Amino acid sequence: MSRSFDRSVPSVVDFLHGNVFSLSGNLTWACFYKTLATNAYGLIRAQDGSSNLCFGANPYADGNVYWTNGGSSATGDTYPAATWAITAFSQNGTAVTGISWNATSGTWTSTPRGTAGNFANPVTQMRVGVFNPGNHDALDGLIACQAIWNRPLVVGDFAGFQSAMDAWLATTPIWAAQFNQASPTTMPVDLTGGGGDAFSQTSTTVSADDPPGFVYHGAAPSFDPKQSSQFLTFF
């Protein structure tokens, strides 16, 4: 299961800051998602105590996801509509790299995306599924998981991210959440144990549409008859 977001509401899941509160300078953010419209908008909005944007990611109508940090945006990283995809932005100082994968191509890419600023005030809340809720810059689509790291990652660090949540956790993010709950009122927790748990959700729903072959943390792998090693031989 994944979590479905409706831009017209807009839907949102709100998280406590956890260890993201101490984040400054270098960072990486990543999300496994599927847009259901070409004007999907809004994957995350990290904001300070006055609700000002610290950093965020916004799939725009031109087919690009834009990374904004400290009031300035890097050039967009392309995303495919109606296809499960992973988009990540790795920021080293002001230099931004877009790292991406999608279920259609099945390959990882890494592309320099220019520069962005650095936010000044500590993050006090993370809003998943929106970028600017007042303008309905919010997601029409599905989210499987998201994570944040307190350092820049490179494309090689993402090996296996398309297959299992445990691959994400093995890279020691400072915040990570998966959205496979059976009920939308069951709040996602911070899988790092850092306390950045969800405390509220608005009008999200549960979807049976999952990233193909993806195994959530704590879930048993599904049986795949194409994998011969999974067959048992009886004598």
Answer yes or no: is 179 within a domain.
Answer: yes
- Per-residue pLDDT at 234: 34
Answer yes or no: is 131 within a domain.
Answer: yes
Answer yes or no: is 48 within a domain.
Answer: yes
Q: Which is it for strands 44-47 and 53-59: parallel, antiparallel or unpaired?
A: antiparallel
Give the domain range for residue 72: 2-230
Answer yes or no: is 90 within a domain.
Answer: yes
Burial per residue of 223-233, b for 16 or more beta-carbon CB atoms within 10 angstroms, e otherwise: eeeeeeeeeee
Answer yes or no: is 100 within a domain.
Answer: yes
- Per-residue pLDDT at 41: 83
Provide the whole-model pTM.
Answer: 0.92
- Per-residue pLDDT at 25: 76
Answer yes or no: is 135 within a domain.
Answer: yes
Q: What angle do CA 126, 16, 87 make, to 5 degrees?
A: 35
- Per-residue pLDDT at 163: 98
Contacts 24+ apart (CB under 8 A), 89-94: 89/28, 89/29, 89/30, 89/57, 89/113, 90/27, 90/28, 90/152, 90/153, 90/154, 91/26, 91/27, 91/28, 91/67, 91/116, 91/152, 92/26, 92/152, 93/25, 93/26, 94/118
Q: Residue 129 belongs to a domain with what CATH number?
A: 2.60.120.200
Answer yes or no: is 235 within a domain.
Answer: no
Answer yes or no: is 133 within a domain.
Answer: yes
Token couple for 228: 């011969």
- Per-residue pLDDT at 185: 95
Please, what are the averages of pLDDT over each run of 10 residues along the chain (235 residues)?
93 96 91 85 94 93 91 89 95 96 96 95 96 82 97 98 98 98 97 98 97 90 40 34
- Per-residue pLDDT at 220: 55
Question: How many domains, the chain?
Answer: 1
- Per-residue pLDDT at 206: 98
